[in-house]
Structure formats: C-alpha cells, structure tokens
Amino acid sequence: MTGQDPGPLIRLYGLTGGRARPQGETFDLVAIVTTVGGPHTLADLIPEYRAVLSVCRRPTPVADVAAHLRLPLNVTRVILGDLRREGFVTIERPRPVAQTIDEHIYREVLDGLRSL
C-alpha cells in the first residue's frame, strides 16, 4: 500500500484552507479538465496547483488528475475549483451518457476492451 504517510495529507488540507468542497458549480469525478491559462502567472502558484496545470495541458478527467498527483479526490477538486475561478482551467459540464456515446465510440470501447 502507498499513501500511508499522513504528513502530506495534513499539509494538503492546510493547503486548501480546510475546505472539503470546491468553489462554484459542481463537477463530476470524470469531468474533463483542460488548462487554458498561459504560463505567465504560474510563478505565483504553489507546486500542487502548477502540477495540475501541467497535467491538464492534455485534457484530463478529474479522477486522473488526482491519480497523477497522488492527491485525495476532494483535495484535487478544491484545487480545480480554485484554478477554474482564476481562469486557468476549464472543467467540462456533465453530459448525459446517451449524448456522449455514439455508435463510433461504442465500437471503439468494445474493440478496446476485447483487445485487452
């Protein structure tokens, strides 16, 4: 097991000011996050926030951001809410699954699974 060291976790809850909920509109665990802000103001950000922006230069689901950074999901969400408010990232609004999975994607998913 990894992540047993409580030190970073405590520090991160300090980092989010103890907040357990992100600011603004709620977003899904697998909402796609995309970095949109330029790098010019990044120097002011603390490392975890910069790391999120680095990961999300490729559109990345929220859960994956947490995975990349080894951060708890709710800490990740607070950070993402902050970055969205500051205009550094966009977070996709949830879409009904019926609107997102067309025949083509369905085939891709099935083929992908079968090739595992």
Partner 1 sequence: MDYAAYEPGATAVTSALAIKILIAGGFGVGKTTMVGTISEIRPLHTEELLSERGVGVDDVSGVESKNTTTVALDFGRITIREGLWLYLFGTPGQDRFWFMWDELALGALGAVVLADTRRLQDSFPAVDYFEQRGIPFVVGVNCFDGARRHDPTKVRRALGLTAHVPIVLCDVRDRTSVRDVLTTLVTYAVEGA
Q: Which residues bind partner 1 (CB under 8 A)?
A: 1, 3, 13, 20, 28-32, 34-36, 38-39, 57-61, 63-64, 66-67, 72-74, 90, 92, 94-97, 100-101, 105-106, 108-110, 112-114, 116
DSSP 60-116: EEHHHHHHHHT--HHHHHHHHHHHHHTTSEEEPPP--HHHH--HHHHHHHHHHHHT-
| Closest CB to partner 1 among residues 46, 114 | 114
Q: Least distance in Å: CB of 62 to partner 1?
A: 8
Minimal distance in Å, beta carbon 44 to partner 1? 18
- Whether 76 and 69 have beta carbons less than 8 Å apart is answered as yes
Closest separation in Å from C-beta 18 to partner 1: 10
Please state the closest distance from residue 76 (CB atom) to partner 1, in A: 9
Residues paired with residue 32 on neighbouring β-strands, in sequence order: 61
Q: How far apart are CA 112 and CA 16, in angstroms?
A: 38
User: What is the Rg, in whole angstroms, of the alpha carbon atoms belonging to the chain?
Assistant: 16
